[in-house]
């Protein structure tokens, strides 16, 4: 379908106009496959990795169908629900609904925790058509009587595998229990392990199946490289790489929140503008950091894995894995922040001796060897570091424990 365009997808003029205003002309494979099926009213099971244009694949047809079935009651009813795992992702999905639906007159609201509920409640009271929500705050506001799901016509479960990883399965089941039986459901996941297939079976009715790119593959437009470097020299290597002014912005991944904060401090000392984004940060701080990064007021954003799928930055060209993820699939989601929608991207991974096993798992998963950059100032020297073991702490037994032990011995001797 080389000559495919959005004009071939039976989209109405206001939607086509909004897509054009976003600068998009050619639909991605997931959009080409999914949009016609959704417009026919089919339930959908979609397997699509991050960065494939998945959000538009469900947002565009839902907006068009809701516009065609507009109700003219005084108070709007919530007819569309998109459930997603993280606050950042919820906000980005709402931005897409606003963009593609700007000429349709529908109202969207994003619902998430970590902030005051007042603004969300006020919007709900005035009436909304579509809610984009994280599970916790959604259930909270449902419990308070601010949200009813009895009129839902379109339900989307996005990033289903991530939902399960984050322990949301019980929350998902609570939401499913109150949704109308008659609805159109769309289910998207980057991977399809057995537990995801089982969950999909409880949500979808005779679904069409759409899959783009092999599961857990990496986008071809991303140039991937690895540096072998001792752990103690990773900060120096990072600073050295960032001397290249062609790298206007870079997203850096660490395994821990503490590690992310340490990297930020190192970069700030070297006069590199940097901020961290992770679960310990307040929601307003996370949003501020992301906004600064998008506007390039901040050059480096340092993130943990939990944020890997929730960061969507147009034209991001560089991702740096300061530490290899200990979960091979997470590598795919990390570097998927760049090379999105066909754009070029570059990923650098720092691998110390203890992380070689992680690298091996990644290469096995993506079925390719990642090219090694041999020439750099901090080559790996310590190939077999001694693993630190925690010394056993010897504590002097308390008087109470000694007395109890004596009593047990006497009891045993008396029972003989």
Cross-strand pairs, 347:
224, 319
Q: For residue 325, what pLDDT band results from cuts at 50, 70 and 90? A: confident
Residue 11 has pLDDT above 80, yes or no: yes
CA atoms within 13 A of residue 314's CA, in its CB half-sphere: 8
The helix (run of H) or strand (run of E) holding residue 172 is helix 169-178
Q: For residue 268, what pLDDT band results from cuts at 50, 70 and 90? A: very high
Nearest Cα neighbor of 18 from 84, 72, 68, 64 is: 64
Confidence at residue 26, expressed as pLDDT on a 0 to 100 scale? 87
Confidence at residue 395, expressed as pLDDT on a 0 to 100 scale? 47
Average pLDDT over residues 2-31: 88
- pLDDT tens figures, 178-225: 999 999 999 998 878 888 899 999 999 999 999 886 545 566 778 999
Confidence at residue 164, expressed as pLDDT on a 0 to 100 scale? 85
**What domains are there in the chain, each with its CATH number?**
6-212 (3.40.50.300), 222-366 (3.40.50.300)
Residue 113 has pLDDT above 80, yes or no: yes
Confidence at residue 117, expressed as pLDDT on a 0 to 100 scale? 95
- Alpha carbon distance, N-terminus to C-terminus of the chain: 87
Residue 79 has pLDDT above 80, yes or no: yes
Confidence at residue 214, expressed as pLDDT on a 0 to 100 scale? 52
- pLDDT tens figures, 40-59: 999 999 988 666 789 999 99
- pLDDT tens figures, 359-369: 999 998 888 89
CA 305 from chain centre, in angstroms, equals 9
| Contact in structure between 319 and 238 (CB atoms under 8 Å) | no
Q: For residue 267, what pLDDT band results from cuts at 50, 70 and 90? A: very high
Q: For residue 401, what pLDDT band results from cuts at 50, 70 and 90? A: low
What mean pLDDT value characterizes the chain?
A: 87
Confidence at residue 306, expressed as pLDDT on a 0 to 100 scale? 67
5 or 67, higher pLDDT: 67
Residue 141 has pLDDT above 60, yes or no: yes
Cross-strand pairs, 225:
348
Q: For residue 310, what pLDDT band results from cuts at 50, 70 and 90? A: low
Confidence at residue 305, expressed as pLDDT on a 0 to 100 scale? 77
């Amino acid at each position: 379908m080389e000559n495919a365009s959005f004009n071939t997808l039976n989209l109405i003029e206001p939607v086509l106009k909004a897509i054009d205003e976003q600068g998009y002309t050619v639909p991605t494979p997931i959009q080409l496959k999914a949009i016609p099926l959704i417009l026919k009213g089919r339930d959908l099971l979609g397997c699509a990795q991050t960065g494939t244009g998945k959000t538009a694949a469900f947002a565009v047809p839902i907006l068009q169908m809701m516009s065609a079935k507009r109700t003219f009651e005084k108070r709007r009813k919530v007819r569309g629900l998109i459930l997603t795992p993280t606050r950042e992702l919820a906000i980005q999905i709402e931005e897409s609904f606003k963009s593609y639906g700007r000429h349709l007159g529908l109202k969207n609201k994003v619902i998430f925790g970590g902030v005051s509920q007042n603004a969300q409640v006020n919007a709900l009271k005035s009436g909304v058509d579509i809610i984009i929500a994280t599970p916790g705050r959604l259930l909270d506001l449902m419990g308070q009587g601010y949200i009813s799901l009895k009129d839902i016509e379109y339900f989307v479960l996005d990033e289903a595998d991530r939902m399960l990883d984050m322990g949301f399965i019980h929350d998902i089941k609570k939401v499913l229990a109150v949704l109308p039986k008659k609805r159109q459901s769309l289910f998207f996941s980057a991977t399809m392990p057995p537990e995801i297939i089982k969950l999909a079976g409880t949500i979808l009715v005779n679904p069409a199946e759409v899959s783009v790119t092999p599961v857990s593959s990496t986008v071809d437009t991303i140039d991937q490289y690895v540096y072998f470097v001792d752990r103690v020299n990773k900060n120096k290597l990072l600073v050295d790489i960032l001397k290249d002014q062609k790298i206007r912005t870079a997203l850096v991944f660490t395994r821990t929140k503490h590690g992310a904060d340490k990297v930020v401090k190192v970069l700030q000392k070297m006069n590199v503008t940097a901020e961290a984004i992770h679960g310990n940060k307040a929601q307003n701080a996370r949003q501020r950091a992301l906004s600064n990064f998008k506007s390039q007021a901040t050059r480096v954003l340092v993130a943990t894995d939990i944020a890997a799928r929730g960061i969507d930055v147009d034209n991001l060209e560089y991702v740096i894995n300061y530490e290899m993820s200990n979960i091979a699939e997470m590598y795919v989601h990390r570097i998927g922040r760049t090379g999105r929608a066909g754009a070029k991207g570059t990923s650098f991974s720092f691998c110390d001796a203890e992380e070689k096993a992680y690298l091996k798992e990644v290469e096995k998963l993506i079925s390719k060897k990642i090219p090694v950059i041999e020439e750099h100032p901090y080559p790996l020297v310590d190939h077999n570091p001694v693993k630190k073991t925690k010394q056993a702490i010897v504590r002097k037994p308390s008087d109470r424990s000694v007395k109890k032990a004596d009593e047990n011995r006497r009891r045993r001797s008396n029972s003989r």
